[in-house]
A = this chain, B = another copy of it.
Amino acid sequence: MKLEFWFDFASNYSYLSVMRIRSLAPDGVVWRPFLLGPIFKDAGWDNSPFVLQKDKGDYALRQDMPRQCAKYGLPWRQPSIFPRNSLLAARVGLLCEDQPWMLDFCERVMLANFAEDRDIDLACMTRILSELGQDAAAILRAATGDDNKARLRARTEQAKAHRIFGAPTFLLGDAMFWGNDRLEDALAASSSQSAGGIAR
């Protein structure tokens, strides 16, 4: 069974996992972009816990992320805006999640946000889609159409139904693995299950 990779383009720990997929999961994952905002809102929070809990946020963004990026050989620039609005990126990601270039798209959006300190807005999406040789205007039109907007709302409801509370989250049937630190364990469980073993 292929691993489902639930993530938000605004999430810094999702950045780490997206950037590690290419080498750790050469057979790919099932992409599940979603929005954390509505999940946090249900928990009674009007913003990221890394903003609401300043000590935790400062630790995560100013100590842990630089060290983790150094460990993985990934670039890191302290975002001047956190969390960035990831609505448009999520809509494009959802629309394109089955495309063969989805990993390239995700990597470039994450690098814009966390290595280049750029907004992941309309201009950024247009540039990245064009660089990938896609018809940016057509994709953005479909991504912001009513059908796709409704699909993203449904996706986020699915996240709630799975009791997802953060990102990245890896799902393998009923088994949940939360956080970039569990990516290896999740992939091992996925391989074990594919080989006829028991995932949990």
Cβ–Cβ < 8 Å partners of A64 in chain B: 177-178, 182
Query: Is A101 positioned at the interface, with any CB of B under 8 Å from its CB?
Result: no
In the bound complex, how far is the Cα of B55 from the Cα of A176, in angstroms? Answer: 11
Q: Does A123 contact B (CB under 8 A)?
A: no
Is there an interface contact between A53 and B181, defined as CB atoms closer than 8 Å? no
A5 to B116 Cα, complex, angstroms: 35
Contact partners of A58 in chain B: CB under 8 A: 163
In the complex with contacts A67-B185, A200-B67, A178-B59 CB distance below 8 A? yes
Question: Interface size (A, Cβ < 8 Å)?
Answer: 22
Contact call A59/B165, Cβ cutoff below 8 A: yes
Chain B residues, CB < 8 A from A176: 59, 63
Q: Does A141 contact B (CB under 8 A)?
A: no
> Nearest Cβ in chain B — how far from A4, in angstroms?
15
A81 within 8 A of B: no
Query: 0/1 per residue, A163-197, Cβ < 8 Å to B?
Result: 11110000000011110011001000000000000
A55 and B164 CA atoms in complex are apart in Å by 7
A56 on the interface (CB 8 Å rule)? yes
B residues near A138, Cβ cutoff 8 Å:
none
Set of chain B residues within 8 Å of A59, measured between Cβ atoms: 163, 165, 176, 178
On chain B, the residues within 8 Å of A56 by CB distance are: 165-166
* 5 A-B pairs with the lowest CB-CB distances in the bound complex, closest first: A55-B163, A55-B165, A181-B181, A56-B165, A59-B176
Can you report 18 residue pairs joining A to B where beta carbons are below 8 Å apart?
Answer: A43-B53, A53-B165, A55-B163, A55-B164, A56-B165, A56-B166, A58-B163, A59-B163, A59-B165, A63-B175, A63-B176, A63-B177, A63-B200, A64-B177, A64-B178, A64-B182, A67-B185, A71-B185
* Chain A residues with a Cβ under 8 A of chain B: 43, 53, 55-56, 58-59, 63-64, 67, 71, 163-166, 175-178, 181-182, 185, 200
